[in-house]
Every structure is written in structure tokens, then in C-alpha cells.
Structure 1
Amino acid sequence: MTEAAAVSAVRILIVDDHVVVRAGLRALLEGEPGFDVIDETGDGEKAVLLADRHRPDVVLMDLRLTNGDAAADADMGGIAATRRITAAVPGVNVVVLTSYGTRGDVVRAMEAGARGYVLKAGPPEELFRAVRAAAAGGMGLAPEATAHLVGGTMGTGPVLSERELEVIGLLARGHSNRAIATTLHLAEATVKTHLVRIYRKLGTENRAGTVSEAVRRGLLEIGG
């Protein structure tokens, strides 16, 4: 790797309590141009320390992290580690990686501060896209996390049109305005108009915040 490439590479910390999974992720990520795996661990407490020490661009976090404690709540291991990292280490973005895909998992991950959610069974391109989106300050969700869009909010709140929900779904998958326009066969100006309306309805100011708020409100829902 050249010096220039090393400077621009996305620096990644892998956190997963399965050694074989970590090895596979490292090989996969290091084989993709622009990625640099700087360290790995299977322990949540150590993950927080390593994140603070290395200040990676992205922490790839196993959702069901158990920290090696058989009595630990497997649901909360990765969530707790994510919450601590995002609260204590500014500038470090967490992408959750899991074998599961429930709406509750996504909501907990987003509320803990995660900037992405990827299923382990998904294609490598989804992982790469989510990591790049998070490193750039955006939000990267796997297609499974946006496959089922519901037509209203949880409880009371603004009602979004079907087209606006489609736009949010594509935002969550990391699409640019141009890509959204192409997918939905719209002009880019029309996409921008939809975004302005969506921001106003949800009370958000940017793309990442909009996706996070949409997940919180139940506008984006995981498929079974």
C-alpha cells in the first residue's frame, strides 16, 4: 500500500466473539481496496479500550457479542459496547454486523448510536457499502433493513407519502440523490424536493439523522 493510499484508507476495528468469523472478516476487508483492518477483539470491554486507543474510522461490531460470559445477555453485549464507544470516543462510527434481522435489533442499534446495520449472510458489497457510508458520516443499512416500509408512524406523528417512504428506504441503503432519481425514475430536483419535505415532517436536518429517526418511528422495518 502506498503512503497516500494508507492515509486515505478506512481504518477498521473488528469486534466479534468468534475467532473464525474475525479471520474471515479480516481477509474479506483487507482484500478490498481502501480498507485497513487495524485491530480485532472478541471482547466488548476491550473493544472500547481499543477504539479509544486507535481511533478507527469504523468499528465493525457483532450485535450478539457475549464478552465470553455465559451469563451475559447476548442481546446486549454488542449494543452496550456500541453505546459506550459512540458516547466516549468522538469520531468513531459503529456498524453493527449480525446474523439476525428483527426490527427491534435495528432500533436498539440505532438508539445506541450505530451508523450502520449489516447481516452476516449478505453479500460482501453490502458490508463494504455500509462501512464506507459510516466512515463518511452517513448511514448504511442492508436491504433487509429497509425491505418492508410501513405507511405510518408508531403512535402519532406525520404521515409520509408512499414516494417519500421509498426515498427514505433508498437513503438507508446509502444511495445518493442521483442514484435515488435513477431508481425511482425521477429528476434529481424532484428528489431534493422530497428530501426537504421529509426533513420537515420528521424534524431532521440531514440524511443520517433522517434514517435514524425513520427507524425510531417505525417507518423502516426489517423483514423476517
Structure 2
Amino acid sequence: MDEVRIVLVDDDQLVRMALRLVIEGEPDLSVVAEAADGEAALGVVEQHRPDVVLMDVRMPGRDGLSATREILSWPDPPRVLVLTTFDSDELVLGALRAGALGFVLKDTPPPQIITAVRTVAGGNPALSSAATARVIAAATGPHSSDARQRSRTEARTRLATLTERELDTARAIADGLGNPDIATRLHISVATVKAHTGSLFAKLAVDNRVQVALLVRDAED
């Protein structure tokens, strides 16, 4: 793999220093810039055009959710990996819905952080099992019934545009299956799975499998 260029966004300088030490110990990873808030992140990312942004969620000024939404609306955006302490589950959910490819806890062991960075750089979701459980709990937890109903209605409306096979593929993605396992479940070829996935991405106006999984969860909530 070519060198993965990374921007660190966190308001805590010590966190940025620790992440830089972990990342720059790897021969295929480099930190090209840092930012202390979401507003500064926009300029830094635009200037350096990194492959991956490690984005804190809760920061003074512009938060990571707002910055993630804007960055991922740009042409050819970087991958975003969200950093969280899990005092902000709803913001993490918002970042994932905006297109972030995954999230890691700030106290995650360094080898797992490195794995997550490489995974996201390759265009794949990086969601730890413990963290995923927390986010699903937040998505289905006791927030207002009106908000849940709106999310459910919107998700079902969007999923209704899919063919039956595309919907089966979306549900398999939500179950965490990769393309070979989806092919086995649906008794189709991997090439056909890829075709269905590309089609449902276009119809749902999403960029990655995490967003598909969240839509399916919302629809079935």
C-alpha cells in the first residue's frame, strides 16, 4: 500500500501528540497536519488533501460532526475515522450517517488504532464490536418517539426504491457480512453482489456500507 497521509483533529494537544507517536511509528502511515477544532480542520484538510482524517467529535467551536459533513460533501473527500470517548453517542451516530467510515475510542490500544486507520484508508468500515453495540443502543434508545418515527419513515421510504435483491443485499450488509458471505447467503456470485451494492449505493445516495447499515437499522427500529 502507498503511504497513507493523515490529518489529526482533536482539541486536546496531548491526544494529538499520542496519536502522532503511534501513527508515525508505522512505515506506511504519516501525519501531515493537525487541527484543534472543526473550523481549523476544514482549512487543513483542504490544504493537505489527506487520505484519512481522525476526527474528534466534541470540540469547542465547530464540532466534529459539522466538520465531517462539510468535508465529506467535497469532491474526492478523504476517509473520516471518528474519535470518541462515548459521552457523545448521538454525535457519533450523526457522523456515521454523514459518511464517516468508522470510529475508535480514544483509549483503544495503539495496534487497534493502526488497524482501524488502515482499514478505513482501504475504504472499509472500522467499527469495534463494543463501540458498535453502544452506537446501536443510542440509535434505538429512549430519544423522542417523534424523532424515531421520522427516522423510520425516511429510511423505509428510501429502502422502498430498491429491488428485492438489492434490499436483501442491504440487509446482509447491515448484518456485517462481506461480499463473499453475502454471495453465499443469497446464492449469487460475488460479481452480482458488487453490482447490487453499487446500485443500492446510487439509489440510497450513500457512500459506504455503514450508511446502508444505519438505514436498515432505522427502518427496522
Q: TM-score, normalised by structure 1?
A: 0.66
Q: 1:99-120 CA deviation, whole Å, 9 max, x = no partner? A: 0166533320122221221111
3-state DSSP of counterpart to 1:218: helix
Q: Does 1:64 align with 2:58?
A: yes
What is the number of equivalent residue pairs in this alignment?
190
- Does the CA-based 8 Å contact 2:99-2:207 persist in structure 1? no
Alignment of 1:112-123 (within 5 A): 112-123=98-109
Alignment of 1:145-224 (within 5 A): 145-147=131-133, 154=152, 157=156, 168-171=174-177, 190=184, 193=187, 196=193, 203-204=200-201, 209-218=208-217
State the match for 1:28 in structure 2.
22
State the match for 1:85 in structure 2.
71
- Does the CA-based 8 Å contact 2:201-2:207 persist in structure 1? no
Q: Does 1:17 align with 2:11?
A: yes
78, 84, 95: which one pairs with 1:109? 95
Unaligned runs of 5+ in 1: 68-75, 182-187, 220-224
- Does the CA-based 8 Å contact 1:107-1:216 persist in structure 2? no
Unaligned runs of 5+ in 2: 141-150, 160-166
The verdict on how the C-alpha distance between 1:87 and 1:28 changes in structure 2, with shifts beyond 3 A counting, is same
- Does the CA-based 8 Å contact 2:9-2:38 persist in structure 1? yes
Q: Does 1:126 align with 2:125?
A: no
Amino acid of the residue matched to residue 112 of structure 1?
Answer: A
The verdict on how the C-alpha distance between 1:204 and 1:31 changes in structure 2, with shifts beyond 3 A counting, is same
3-state DSSP of counterpart to 2:77: coil
Q: 1:34-78 CA deviation, whole Å, 9 max, x = no partner? A: 1111111212222111101110000100011214xxxxxxxx611
- Supply the distance in 2 between the matched residues of 1:216 and 1:32 (Cα, whole angstroms): 35
The verdict on how the C-alpha distance between 1:20 and 1:103 changes in structure 2, with shifts beyond 3 A counting, is closer
Q: TM-score, normalised by structure 2?
A: 0.67
Amino acid of the residue matched to residue 31 of structure 2?
Answer: V
> RMSD value over aligned CA atoms?
3.9
3-state DSSP of counterpart to 1:88: coil
Give 1 or 2: higher helix fraction. Answer: 2
- Supply the distance in 1 between the matched residues of 2:38 and 2:18 (Cα, whole angstroms): 19
- Supply the distance in 2 between the matched residues of 1:208 and 1:193 (Cα, whole angstroms): 25
- Compute the displacement of 1:208 (Å): 6.3
Q: 1:152-177 CA deviation, whole Å, 9 max, x = no partner? A: 9946848x99xx97864545xxxx55
- Does the CA-based 8 Å contact 1:177-1:192 persist in structure 2? no
41, 45, 48: which one pairs with 2:42? 48
